[in-house]
Amino acid sequence: LHRGAGGDGRARAGDGRWAVIRPKIIYLSHPVGAATDAGVQANLASARAWLGYLIANCPDVAWCVPWLPYLDVLKDTPTNRERGLRDDCAMVAMCDAILLVGRSVSPGMMQESAVIAELGRKIIDCTDRNGSSLLAAVGAVNEWVASC
């Protein structure tokens, strides 16, 4: 297959037919919990900003962020948190890698990372604890994708 011009995710086979090239699927992991509702909302706004920037700057990646719509439609209860984390871990198992972002690694992020680690897949840690920025995360992601 030869990569099509324009980075549209298609490739032309030797016989001229178009085929879809499967992009790398990376799970975006960001802390959500906080001491106040305002803190939770700030974390969600940060996660959305990360996602938007990553979509725009990592063209060969399909981003998996299943927890974001759960938080939009479910009330914050222990049962819903447990269900959400269970489903997140099921989705993470289908991904090629996980990208950790945000100020710290939360307990939920640790569980998600453990799933990827157990499967021997890539963990890209771009949390603030490593001094990473949006640009550093994009560089790390695109470098890893190019190496695959």
> How confident is the model at residue 7, as a pLDDT?
53
Question: pLDDT tens digits, residue range 77-92?
Answer: 899 999 999 999 999 9
> How confident is the model at residue 21, as a pLDDT?
76
Question: Of 90, 108, 86, nearest to 33 (Cα)?
Answer: 108
Is the pLDDT score of 5 beyond 60?
no
Question: Of 60, 129, 138, 68, nearest to 99 (Cα)?
Answer: 138
Question: For the residues 85-108, what does the mean pLDDT come to?
Answer: 95
Model confidence, pTM: 0.84
Is the pLDDT score of 57 beyond 60?
yes
SS (H, E, C) the chain: CEECCCCCCEEECCCCCEEECCCEEEEEECCCCCCCHHHHHHHHHHHHHHHHHHHHHCCCEEEECCHHHHHHHCCCCHHHHHHHHHHHHHHHCCCCEEEEEECCCCHHHHHHHHHHHHCCCEEEEEEHHHCCCHHHHHHHHHHHHHHC
> How confident is the model at residue 148, as a pLDDT?
92
> How confident is the model at residue 76, as a pLDDT?
85
Question: For the residues 15-41, what does the mean pLDDT come to?
Answer: 86
Question: pLDDT tens digits, residue range 121-142?
Answer: 999 999 987 666 888 899 999 9
Phi-psi domain of 95 (left: phi exceeds 0; alpha: psi -120 through 50; beta: other):
beta
Average pLDDT, the chain: 88
39 confidence band (pLDDT: 50, 70, 90) = very high
> How confident is the model at residue 134, as a pLDDT?
85
Question: For the residues 12-40, what does the mean pLDDT come to?
Answer: 83
